[in-house]
Amino acid sequence: MNQILFKFRNTIIIFVALMAIYTFLLCVAFLPANTYLMGNYTHSVAVLDREGDYPSIFDSPASTLDNFTDKLMVNTVIKDESQSFFASAFSANEYARYWHGYLIYLRPLMLFLNYAQIRHLNIFLVFFLLCYSFLLMYTRIGSLEASSFLLAMCMSHIAIIPLSLQFMSTHIIMLIATLKLLLHFPNGKLKLRQLCYFFFIIGSVTNFLELLTAPIITLGIPLTISYMLLEKKHDSIPDDSGVSKPKAKTLLKHESQGKKQFRANFYFALENSIFWGFGYAFTWIMKWVFGTAVLNQNVFLSASNAIQFRLMGNEHHPTTPLNALLANIRVMFPGFVLSIVLVLFIIGLGACAISATKSGGEKMQDYLPLILIALYPYIWTIVLSNHTQIHAFFTYRMQTVTIIALAFYFVRCSTSDSIKEKMHNILFR
């Protein structure tokens, strides 16, 4: 009980600090007058009008840009100068149910750069973070896991992410969170006992910066990485009492453990997922509170109507969970790609089964939380079936969580050290 109260107190302190930081940054971003960025704004709108709302880079749904939302984001840069900068920060041109936290960098950038130039800046940023993440993952987790991560990013068309402001926020958060874990967890500045706060902050920042694009990647991928780092460093996950003990042999097992350790492994995944969810949900709710108070309008009503539509659809946009799932799967795995993935999945299961007969199935049990994490995108898709069916051309990227979690599971459960070494030599030597 004391530990729960301690975490609750710390979480409240972090949350209050985050709300203050968000409010301050948005207010600062809205200080400059529109005059100073009108030239770059006009050029940016012209580029977006010329390209159209949904241009496809490689003539496929998976490579479609969301210029429609990008134009909304660019238009939000221009504030209503009849309002104070404080009111403008919470109004976002009457689109008040979102924080629009991207404006803390987009508005200052447009003082100096137009939309096309910001795209070039994004290209360097995304590929620097991606390459750095790959190299650290190669070193700290393993070459096969790093290769799986890179393959999943390629399957999600990471190359077009810098071309759309709408897609950038979630991927930048995910990559920075991944780097933080690879650099400092679990034996560096970020300790195991602090991890729940880390995921709370990630969830909060995700809601602050993005517009319901593919938020689950900021949970699923860092959570998978953190789980693998614990195993790789021969750390232990705390049991129900919250006490961590050194591993007796390998993986995430304590000295005597069975069912107790099995519960502890799932507790690790669920606790951090819940903290991420709290950060995401309560940050969003606080925006409705602030918006209602500052703007003297019922932002809660607008938000509740939007949520009902995203959950249930309407007569013009009828949706079902099954159709949403199929739409996202088809975009992620078009045509023959789905057949290849299914064959690889069956081979992975077979290899795990063969390995289990030799090891008693301990590895498969120890890594089961990765299977839970792999299901997160589909749970999100089912719950928000309206949103994910209509916007499958970008929400499909949530399935990178599934690919990475399953790939890591199969690598760890189905291959011996000797086989891993041979595969490493084939790929990298």
Render pLDDT for 180-206 as a digit per residue (tens, 0 to 9).
Answer: 999 999 888 888 889 999 999 999 999
pTM of this prediction? 0.90
Q: How far apart are CA 237 and CA 243, in angstroms?
A: 8
- Side-chain half-sphere exposure of 221, counting CA atoms within 13 A: 34
Crossing angle between the packed helical segments 400-414 and 336-359, to the nearest 10 degrees: 30
Mean pLDDT of the chain: 87
Residue 64 main-chain phi, psi, to 5 deg: -85, 135
DSSP 8-state secondary structure symbol assigned to residue 80: -
pLDDT digits (tens, 9 = 90+) for 7-18: 999 999 999 999
Tracing tokens 């991927």 back to the chain, one arrives at 171
Average pLDDT on 44-53 reads 96
Give per-residue pLDDT as tens, 119-136: 999 999 999 999 999 999
For residue range 310-349, what is the model confidence (pLDDT) as tens digits? 776 677 777 888 999 999 999 999 988 999 999 988 988 8
Helix segments in 30-64, DSSP class H: 38-51
- Report which residue type is found at 166: Q
Token readout for 325 is: 């799932």
